[in-house]
């Protein structure tokens, strides 16, 4: 007999990163402040048609979907999320409740599909990526942005490395995340037949009061109860990491924001 309740089922939605968790909107806002500049730069490189149809898949708290609707005033901007509670009051966008793992869009119906900080957390990420490419019209663009925690796993600081590894283990065990998956994004787009592959990265540091620092700190604090419950860290570890991050002599690369994009070839 399975006695696991709905709230205990593994996966992103029911995890400590789910939108129903207290403080999740604040955490998403820190992610937006850290990641939005790179996303805007990438879209500035894409030649888009007049009146494009743009999908922001897993739009989170909606800052980038809102920017898209302002930047491309003649565009149709579709923002989706499995839990769209933070999207409902944003003007200029069409909001759809959508599960990226199971729900589709019509083939060749979109000029741009943009996905940010989502696929690394979905065990079905390879199949989803293949499906995403089919939604894009010939000549359109698939833009995948995600986070790699490789820098924090390679740190020489033993406490920071311990906390980082515990965070990665928690994500793997409770959600099925792969926090190194984004490192090979250009190759994954190329394998799916996309052309004109582009790639940009942005280093995120901690201990420097940057947007990335706020995102890392907020996410780690958000994960604290789950880390303690699973025995991955002690309260002493968490307290010591807070003190280390606040030290005026400490700053380290913690993560990499990665953007990769490719164009669906024209037919014929």
Domains of the chain: 21-264 (3.40.50.150)
Burial of 150 (C-beta count, 10 Å sphere; 0-12/13-18/19+):
middle
Q: What is the mean pLDDT of residues 235-258?
A: 98
Report whether pLDDT(168) > 90. yes
Report whether pLDDT(22) > 70. no
Burial of 247 (C-beta count, 10 Å sphere; 0-12/13-18/19+):
exposed
Predicted confidence at residue 18, as pLDDT, reads: 53
Predicted confidence at residue 1, as pLDDT, reads: 32
- Mean pLDDT, rounded, of the chain: 93
Note the maximum CA span of the chain: 62
Predicted confidence at residue 97, as pLDDT, reads: 97
Report whether pLDDT(93) > 50. yes
Q: Which helix (H) or strand (E) holds 254?
A: strand 252-263
Cβ neighbours of residue 100 closer than 8 Å, sequence gap 6 or more: 57, 58, 80, 82, 115, 118, 122, 128
Confidence category of residue 21, pLDDT binned at 50, 70, 90: low
Report whether pLDDT(6) > 50. no
Predicted confidence at residue 3, as pLDDT, reads: 34
């Amino acid at each position: 007999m399975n006695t696991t309740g709905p709230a205990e089922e593994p996966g992103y939605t029911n995890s400590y990163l789910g939108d129903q968790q207290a403080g999740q909107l604040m955490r998403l806002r820190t992610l937006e402040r850290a990641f939005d500049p790179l996303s805007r730069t990438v879209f500035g490189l894409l030649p888009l048609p007049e009146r494009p149809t743009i999908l922001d898949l897993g739009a989170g708290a909606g800052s980038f979907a809102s920017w898209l609707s302002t930047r491309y005033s003649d565009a149709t901007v579709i923002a989706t999320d499995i839990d769209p509670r933070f999207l409902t009051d944003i003007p200029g966008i069409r909001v759809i409740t959508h599960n990226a793992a199971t729900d589709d869009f019509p083939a060749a119906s979109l000029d741009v599909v943009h996905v940010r900080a989502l696929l690394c957390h979905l065990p079905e990420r390879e199949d989803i990526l293949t499906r995403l490419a089919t939604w894009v019209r010939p000549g359109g663009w698939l833009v995948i942005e995600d986070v790699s925690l490789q820098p924090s796993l390679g740190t020489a600081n033993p406490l920071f490395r311990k906390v980082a590894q515990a965070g990665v283990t928690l994500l793997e065990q409770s959600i099925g995340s792969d926090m190194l998956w984004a490192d090979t994004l250009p190759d994954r787009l190329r394998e799916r037949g996309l052309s004109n592959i582009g790639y940009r990265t942005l280093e995120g540091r901690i201990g420097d009061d940057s947007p990335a620092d706020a995102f890392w700190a907020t996410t780690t604090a958000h994960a604290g109860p789950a880390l303690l419950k699973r025995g991955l860290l002690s309260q002493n570890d968490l307290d010591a990491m807070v003190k280390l991050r606040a030290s005026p002599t400490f700053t380290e690369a913690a993560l990499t924001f990665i953007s990769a994009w490719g164009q669906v070839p024209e037919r014929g």
